[in-house]
Amino acid sequence: MHFTLTELFIATFSLFFLSYLSLRFRLINMSGALTAFIIGFIVFIFGGWRWFLLLLSFHLSAGIVTKYKYSFKSSLGAAEAKGGARAWKNVLSNGFVASLFALCEGIRGGDIFFAGFLGAISTACSDTFATEIGLLYPGKPRLITNLKVKVEPGVSGGVSPYGEIAVILASLSIGVLAIFLGDVSSYIWWKVLLISLASGFLGSTFDSLMGATVQAQYWCENCKVFCESSKHKCGCEAKLVRGLSIINNHAVNFISTVIGALIGLIIALII
Ligand SMILES: [Zn+2]
């Protein structure tokens, strides 16, 4: 650990300001803001400001892409609830793994933890972009486990060309930003890019695979649509038709960031 009182002050002040802005623009709700504050603080203090800027770029771009064409996504019945303001479960499932690697870096030091951090952030970012941009695809998405099967937009496990392009662009952007920030690790630039691209792509592919298999999927008889929770937006109870009830969307996001971090670590260790 190597932070000074000044850094502590800057971190606290910046986080208060950013939490206020995120609440003001409804990127997150109050529970989401508190969770993001804690995760952001850990990353800032233990990973440093460069790590924090990577996390922040994910937070802001995810917020913007969620708001983008929100009413259209809403008309599909697939938009994030509550105007796209994400709550604590969403923030935690996307940010917990990254904050853990930042904590390890602060305590133990050494570059290896950056690979895990980058992998987790790249996966979270790619996956969010895949979902939000994928919804804008004019055709029907296809099920990742059987590409002949078409599914409705927003159904877990569905993949589309837009979603795949979003994955590449998001993971590439995170990698380029990490290189641009400089001194973020001692890795050569192409290794940073490789970790970011491979983690983002494989992590979000794993997310879709879980979405098509083990993730809980429910059917609302009232609205004749699939949904992701046992209580549909209309207020009716929905019936579990696929997957396990304990594996919801948040669990899938969390597991995907673990996979993304592991891929980052593997690349860092073998190359
Ligand atoms: Zn319903």
What is the 3-state secondary structure of the chain? CCCCHHHHHHHHHHHHHHHHHHHHCCCECHHHHHHHHHHHHHHHHHHCHHHHHHHHHHHHHHHHHHHCCHHHHHHCCCCCCHHHCECHHHHHHHHHHHHHHHHHHHHHCCCHHHHHHHHHHHHHHHHHHHHHHHCCCCCCCEECCEEEEECCCCCCCEECHHHHHHHHHHHHHHHHHHHHHCCCCCCCHHHHHHHHHHHHHHHHHHHHHHHHCCECEEEECCCCEEECCCECCCCCECEEEECECCCCHHHHHHHHHHHHHHHHHHHHHHC
Query: From CA 96, how far away is CA 85, in angstroms rounded?
Result: 18
Query: What does the domain layout of the chain look like in residue ranges?
Result: 5-270
Q: Give pLDDT tens digits for 7-45.
A: 899 999 999 999 999 999 999 999 999 999 999 999 999
Q: Give pLDDT tens digits for 87-102.
A: 999 999 999 999 999 9
Q: What is the pLDDT of residue 38?
A: 98
Question: Cα(220) to centroid of ligand 1, in Å?
Answer: 5
The yes-or-no verdict on residue 1 having pLDDT over 60 is: no
pTM above 0.85, yes or no: yes
Q: What is the pLDDT of residue 62?
A: 97
Question: Cα(237) to centroid of ligand 1, in Å?
Answer: 8
What is the four-CA torsion angle of 29, 94, 35, 70, rounded to 10 degrees? -10
Tell me the sheet residues that pair with 146: 143
Q: What is the pLDDT of residue 123?
A: 98
Question: Cα(228) to centroid of ligand 1, in Å?
Answer: 11
Question: Cα(217) to centroid of ligand 1, in Å?
Answer: 13
Q: What is the pLDDT of residue 225?
A: 86
What does the pLDDT average to over 153-178?
97
Q: What are phi and psi of 221, to 5 degrees?
A: -70, -30
Question: Cα(48) to centroid of ligand 1, in Å?
Answer: 45
The yes-or-no verdict on residue 247 having pLDDT over 70 is: yes
The percent of residues above 70 in pLDDT, for the chain, comes to 99
Q: Give pLDDT tens digits for 175-218.
A: 999 999 988 888 999 999 999 999 999 999 999 999 999 999 99
Q: Give pLDDT tens digits for 138-154.
A: 999 999 999 999 999 98
What is the 3-state secondary structure of 157-220? CEECHHHHHHHHHHHHHHHHHHHHHCCCCCCCHHHHHHHHHHHHHHHHHHHHHHHHCCECEEEE
What does the pLDDT average to over 62-87?
92
Q: What is the pLDDT of residue 24?
A: 96
**Of residues 258, 268, 270, the one with CA closest to residue 113:** 268
Q: Give pLDDT tens digits for 106-138.
A: 999 888 999 999 999 999 999 999 999 999 999
Question: Cα(157) to centroid of ligand 1, in Å?
Answer: 20
Question: Cα(151) to centroid of ligand 1, in Å?
Answer: 18
The yes-or-no verdict on residue 56 having pLDDT over 60 is: yes
What does the pLDDT average to over 235-243?
94
On whether the CB atoms of residues 169 and 183 are closer than 8 A, the answer is no
Vertex 249 angle, CA 248 and 255, to 5°: 95
